[in-house]
Amino acid sequence: MPIEIKRLCHTYLAGTAGEKAALKDIELNIEKGEFFGIIGHTGSGKSTLLQHMGGIMPPEAGTVIVDGYDFADKKQRIEGRKKVGLVFQYPEYQLFEETVAKDIAFGPKNMKLEQEEIDRRVRRAMELVGLDWERFAEKSPFELSGGEKRRAAIAGIIAMEPGYLILDEPMAGLDPAGRRAILDMLSGIRRETGCAVIMVSHSMDDIAAYSDRVAVMQDGSIIRTGTPAEIFGGEIDLEAMGLELPAASYLGNLLRSKGMDVPEIYTIDGMAEYLLGRRQGA
Ligand code: ADP
């Protein structure tokens, strides 16, 4: 069953001078197993939306239903949010146990699972994020590199076996190789477990290359949902919304401005393939 959001509104500091309508009539369905990207300028409401999907904020108006659990009802929200794994920005700041294995076991332990099942989940989660059990299980999280810490933090969420993995800027602060490694890891987790990945990112290149569908937020509304081709194919003026273009779209525009006849291509891989083919054809 999917995530179904209907007419969801949220206003911060209602009735005060600082009142802010952060979500306005949000309509959104996310299917099981999708890689779903969310883009939008800072302050457009992305984090507020993620917190509603994760069951941290109850809907004050409208509905949020996850796998049939209606989040307007407190009991259902507490049950339903077990289906959702929320990874905040810089999740490694929340590592705190003596060892990596204990840290990853924290969530499953709280779920009151049998020790054997906890151990199975810790091993599986470490495998999924690419941390070798022999090498890392007994290490202190603080001995790990930045990228490894982030993997360990994500493993702690994966170990709860969510149907939906929701991440706010999971590549923030990493270099290009680190970004790619985290994205490939997320793709692998999705493939191996079948969980949906819902990701907020400012990197249009990453969103364009990895998402099945993308939602564009502006000032508390979702102004468009579509495939990367529909979102990045030139129909929407992302720059006018203060968003970057994918690097390949930007390059395409530059080449067209020099008189070159280049189709709308929005991924680096696609652009490289096109330009190589063109050179070989010339
Ligand atoms: P984004 O994740 O796209 O940057 P947010 O969901 O964080 O957007 O914020 C949406 C709007 O709500 C912004 O105008 C922000 O300033 C405001 N906002 C977010 N959190 C709070 C809060 N706790 N109190 C008051 N206003 C908030």
Strand 61-66 vs strand 69-70: parallel, antiparallel, or unpaired?
antiparallel
How remote is the CA of residue 267 from the centroid of ligand 1, in Å? 30
282 residues of the chain, pLDDT tens digit each = 699 999 999 999 999 999 999 999 999 999 999 999 999 999 999 999 999 999 999 999 999 999 999 999 999 999 999 999 999 999 999 999 999 999 999 999 999 999 999 999 999 999 999 999 999 999 999 999 989 999 999 999 999 999 999 999 999 999 888 899 999 999 999 999 999 999 999 999 999 999 999 999 999 999 999 999 999 987 888 988 889 899 999 999 999 999 999 998 999 999 999 999 988 876
pTM of the model as a whole? 0.94
Q: Whose CA is nearest to atom 14 of ligand 1?
A: 43
CA distance 101 to 129: 13
How remote is the CA of residue 220 from the centroid of ligand 1, in Å? 9
DSSP category for residue 137:
T
Q: Whose CA is nearest to atom 24 of ligand 1?
A: 12
Q: Residue 24: CB within 6 Å of ligand 1?
A: no
How remote is the CA of residue 156 from the centroid of ligand 1, in Å? 27
How remote is the CA of residue 52 from the centroid of ligand 1, in Å? 13
How remote is the CA of residue 182 from the centroid of ligand 1, in Å? 26
Sign of CA dihedral 110, 113, 118, 124: negative
- Site to probe by mutation for ligand 1, drawn from 9, 23, 47, 221 as the one with most ligand atoms within 8 Å of Cβ, is 47
Q: Residue 40: CB within 6 Å of ligand 1?
A: yes
SS3 of the chain: helix, strand, coil, percent, to 5: 45, 20, 35
Q: H/E element holding 253?
A: helix 247-257
CA distance 145 to 147: 6
Q: Which atom of ligand 1 is nearest to 48's Cα? A: 6
Q: Are 38 and 215 in contact (CB under 8 A)?
A: yes
Burial 73-109 (b: 16+ CB within 10 A, else e): eeebbebbbbbbbbbbebbbeebeeeebbbbbbbbbe
